[in-house]
């Protein structure tokens, strides 16, 4: 069974630009969550999608948005990039989401904002 895939793996952007990251969950998984990981703040929850609906959202500004398609693939978008957005962005999928379901993480997209 293929794991969670994220594209691209590495990305370099400049301040003010926007970026779109992609996540393909494990086949059969309907829940996709996104996290931002930085050395100072650790893993912080961005949002979670289930069957194309956003079920929960973390405390991030509106510049961070996401969506999920009917095949469960998900994208997240960051507009007007800031230096502080440099981070590892992780996507995780699970069958149903929630506190008791195992999440499978992808390898992440390393975003550097110059």
* Token duo for residue 100: 């008791």
Q: Is 64 in the site for other proteins (CB under 8 A)?
A: no
Q: What span, in angstroms and rounded, lies between the C-alpha atoms of 112 and 109?
A: 10
Q: What span, in angstroms and rounded, lies between the C-alpha atoms of 51 and 38?
A: 28
Q: Is 58 in the site for other proteins (CB under 8 A)?
A: yes
Q: Is 102 in the site for other proteins (CB under 8 A)?
A: yes
Residue among 33 and 81 whose Cβ is closer to other proteins: 33
Q: Applying CB under 8 A, which residues contact other proteins?
A: 4, 31, 33, 35, 41-45, 48, 50, 55-56, 58, 90, 92, 97-100, 102-108
């Amino acid at each position: 069974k293929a794991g969670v895939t994220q594209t691209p793996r590495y990305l370099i952007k400049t301040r003010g630009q926007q970026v779109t990251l992609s996540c393909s969950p494990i086949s059969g998984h309907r829940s996709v969550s996104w996290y931002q990981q930085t050395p100072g703040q650790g893993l912080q929850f961005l949002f979670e999608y289930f069957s194309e609906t956003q079920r929960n959202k973390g405390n991030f500004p509106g510049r961070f948005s996401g969506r999920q398609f009917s095949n469960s693939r998900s994208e997240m978008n960051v507009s007007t990039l800031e230096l502080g957005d440099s981070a590892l962005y992780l996507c995780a999928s699970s069958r149903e989401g929630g506190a008791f379901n195992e999440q499978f993480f992808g390898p992440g997209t390393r975003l550097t904002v110059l």
